Structure 1
Amino acid sequence: MTERARIYLSSPHMSGLEQQYITEAFETNWVAPLGENVDAFESEVASYIGSSGGVALSSGTAALHLALILLGVEKDDIVFCSSFTFIASANPILYQKAIPVFIDSELNTWNMSPIALERAMKEYAAKGKKPKAVVIVNLYGQSADYNKLKNICDHYDVPIVEDAAESLGATYSERMSGTFGEFGIFSFNGNKIITTSGGGMLVSENQTALEKARFYATQARDRAPHYQHSQIGYNYRLSNILAGIGRGQMKVLDQRIQEKREIFSFYNRELSKIKGISFMPEYFEGKSTRWLTAMSIDPDFIECNIMDIVKHLDKLNIESRPLWKPMHMQPLFKDAVYYNHVEDLDISQKLFKYGICLPSDTNMSSENQQLCCKEIYKAIRKL
């Protein structure tokens, strides 16, 4: 193992502006959940994406969970969900003891396939089992094809929960990611394009629902002079300290997006010269943040597999990883129903088999990115 400092996939990148808000929280002794930073952070994120409001929470998973609760998802309800995603998109379905049905991706965006979604909707409607919600994930900084997906969901009167955990700042059809569903969710985990260390946010045009989310997220405490609880609640609120970090991070979000896109452009320019390499496409309807640069290889031209590249880079203290292992391939969901994009073509499984996320760290120097390209080339050529 080399002693070179580790090159990360996507590490936290502080701007220096965060300290102002953290200091204010300490000076006013508002270090617990709630406070001026929480209120301002909610307002600033909502304003940035053009939404009516938001609720700052402890994680994106918490936001997804509350969205499903607010939509009335209960035991044995059907919830459609993107298969090609991180498990946090699907776990809240299980929290509610509902039944996930997984939907394949399509090649234009790598996100949910409108063809597979429409087929699933038609079949479940025919059985009288219309889903209670559809969780659509925006992968690696790119929005799904909402013109098609939303038309399908509207036709069957099924609400969308937009999992925009990875896509804050992306656009689609001149609208911001997170604004296409009944609810949108963001993650501010340490590796996201901006971070609060750990945290998330639920956004919506439905202010009544957001107030209900705040109620659930603070242990569902009834209005009473004593501690009284009539419903199940959760400890899901974001602390005032972490919200202060988020406020400082929001001030550099556009800069981080530009940096991420420049990282992608460099990889694309240098590695696309190799026959058999391609990158996640940017759909013509929108603009990706390129949160992570995602690359795929064509086995007809490149003999090595993805894990050969991952292992080669890891020996040099360079972090990379395969693309998400689809939910329908996970042991936890081995019995779940799954809809391919088209018959005999499982796109999400193919992407997982041949795809890799490259170091996309905005802290990374240009010399280190050049090193990454050089070593990826070596791994592919087996030099």
Structure 2
Amino acid sequence: MTDTETGARIFLSPPDVTDLERKLLLDAFDSNWVAPVGPDLDAFEEQVAHRVGVRHAVALSSGTAALHLALIAAGVRRGDTVLVPSFTFAATANAVVYLGARPVFVDSTPDSWNVDPALVAEELRARAERGNLPRAVIAVDMYGQCADYDPLLEACDRYGVPLIEDAAEALGATYRGRAAGSFGLAGVLSFNGNKIITTGGGGMLVTDDSRIAKQARHLSTQAREPVAHYEHRAVGYNYRLSNLLAAVGRGQVQRLDQMIAARKATFAYYRDQLPGLTFMPVAGYGEPNWWLTCVLTEDESSRDRMLAALNGRNIEARPAWKPMHLQPVFQDCVTRGGGVCADLFRRGVCLPSGSALTDHDRRRVVDAVREG
């Protein structure tokens, strides 16, 4: 079928921007605050810190940059190990490798698709007995739903291992009434083009620890010392977000609740119209931000038929994350479990979930899923 026959392409999670973001961007441009820092950057950090409920936020060039700096703050060095969910995007594990450390992958729980707290606790206990505790644990808030932080923090605190929250997909979600990004040593957010809010690219490190925030700001601007000449006592990075992109982010944050409501309505529509499918479970301990609606098919063949039917109607959909322990680049890493997240990949499909989807768009998706 041609594009004309199938309709305009429906994307998985495209940017949703309005005249508000355009006005804020042009205001920043007209004020000549085009350099990396400026008043919009300060305001954006304040908005996000307030939303997450933390004291400090440092806007950066990507969520991966925020992960990298959070791991540095946790003291991760060459030769260390870090526990990482296997069911995640590669950036989570890549940031560990940047520092010369080794990820140890941990399986998911079928109850929320997030990292299994019991397996994390077992791995920490076993490593404590051998005298080789990991330097840090990373939890990922999968597809906009928080991990189960009470048992995770309990286990990490028991062994004195810092927890980093990769909330790249979860801004606006909550766990027992507390905002995603506010758990552990530091939280990490992403404003990539496909996230629930976007600056076109970018991320943020959020924390209550002033020392960590100060260190992140310092390292993200090439670790330049506060003197008239260029003085450097550490290796730094060019990680700061630009003032122009922060202006876009300011408008996006103002519209966050509206975009969460739109994505939740899409989830409810799919669930109502596709009663035969198994949807990603919604854990009772919190409220997701409904970033992506994901379903499980019967088997890999069913998954591929559904994806082919959607693609045939000019609709973007993707398999669930391929686990890190199945990625060739990480084939030599230690893995705890792995069967649950491998099955999620084998059967999982992420459906279009953008906050600007129309009723017509959703009907097209439902018709294609039924066909597949």
TM-score normalised to structure 1 length = 0.95
- 2:31 is the alignment partner of 1:28: yes
Instruction: Provide the C-alpha distance between the structure 2 equivalents of 1:234 and 1:158, rounded to a whole number of angstroms.
Output: 26
SS of the equivalent of 2:42 reads helix
**Residue 17 of structure 1 aligns to a residue in which SS?**
helix
Which residue of 2 is the match for residue 347 of structure 1? 340
Verify: 1:138 aligned to 2:113, yes or no: no
Q: Give the whole-Å Cα distance in 1 for the aligned partners of 2:210 and 2:2.
A: 53
| Structure 1 equivalent of residue 108 of structure 2 | 105
- The question of whether the paired residues in 2 share the 8 Å contact of 1:81 and 1:90 is answered with yes
| 1:369 maps to which of 343, 351, 362 | 362
Q: Distance in 2 between matches of 1:209 and 1:115?
A: 29
1:327 aligns with 2:307: no
In structure 2, which of residues 41, 64, 67 is the aligned counterpart of residue 64 of structure 1?
67
Q: Does the aligned pair in 2 maintain the 1:190–1:197 contact within 8 Å?
A: yes
1: CA distance between counterparts of 2:34 and 2:280?
Answer: 41
- Structure 2 residue identity aligned to 1:116: L
- SS of the residue aligned with 2:245? helix
Q: Is 1:318 aligned to 2:290, yes or no?
A: no
Match for residue 247 of structure 1 among 231, 246, 250: 250
Residue 295 of structure 2 corresponds to: 295
Q: CA deviation at 1:304?
A: 4.1
Cα distance between partner residues in 2 of 1:140 and 1:359: 13
* Segments ≥4 residues shifted beyond 6 Å: none
Instruction: Give a deviation string over 1:309-366, Cα, whole Å, max 9, x none.
Output: 112211211000000000000001001000117xxxx110010101000011222211
Question: Identity of paired residues, percent?
Answer: 46
- The alignment partner of 2:110 has SS state of coil
In the TM superposition, 1:15-164 aligns within 5 A as 15-164=18-167
Q: Determine the structure 2 residue equivalent to 1:207.
A: 210
Looking at structure 2, the residues matched to 208 and 116 of structure 1 have their Cα atoms a distance apart, in angstroms, of: 31
Q: Does 1:285 align with 2:288?
A: no
* SS of structure 2 residue aligned to 1:368: helix
Displacement of 1:138? 0.4
Please state whether the residue corresponding to 1:232 is helix, strand or coil. Answer: coil
Deviation at 1:118, TM superposition (A): 1.3
- Unmatched 5+ residue regions in structure 2? none
**Matched-pair contact (CA < 8 Å) for 2:86–2:324:** yes
Paired with 1:208 and 1:29, the residues of 2 have a C-alpha distance of: 31
Distance 2:171 2:122 in 1: 29
Cα distance in structure 1, aligned partners of 2:296 and 2:192: 25
Deviation digits for residues 144-183 of structure 1 (CA, Å, limit 9, x no counterpart): 0111111111111111110000000000111000111110
Deviations 1:100-129 (A, max 9, x none): 100100011110101211111111111111
1:296 deviation in Å?
0.5
Other structure's SS at 1:90 match: helix
What is aligned with 2:179?
Answer: 176
Secondary structure of the corresponding residue to residue 345 of structure 2: helix
**Unmatched 5+ stretches in structure 1:** none
Tell me the distance in 2 between the aligned counterparts of 1:178 and 1:142: 11
Query: Contact 1:46–1:52 at 8 Å: present in 2 too?
Result: yes
Instruction: Report if the CA contact (8 A) 1:140-1:166 is conserved.
Output: yes
Cα offsets for 1:220-270 (capped at 9, x unmatched): 001221111111000000000000000010110000000000000001111
TM-score of the pair, normalised by structure 2: 0.97
Contact 2:260 2:355 in 1 (8 A): no
Contact 1:2–1:315 (Cα < 8 Å) also in 2: no
**Offset, 1:378:** 0.9
Mapped to 2, the partners of 1:29 and 1:370 lie a distance apart of 45
CA distance in structure 2 between the partners assigned to 1:211 and 1:40 by the alignment? 17
Look up the SS of the partner of 1:38 in the other structure: helix
Q: CA deviation at 1:307?
A: 1.6
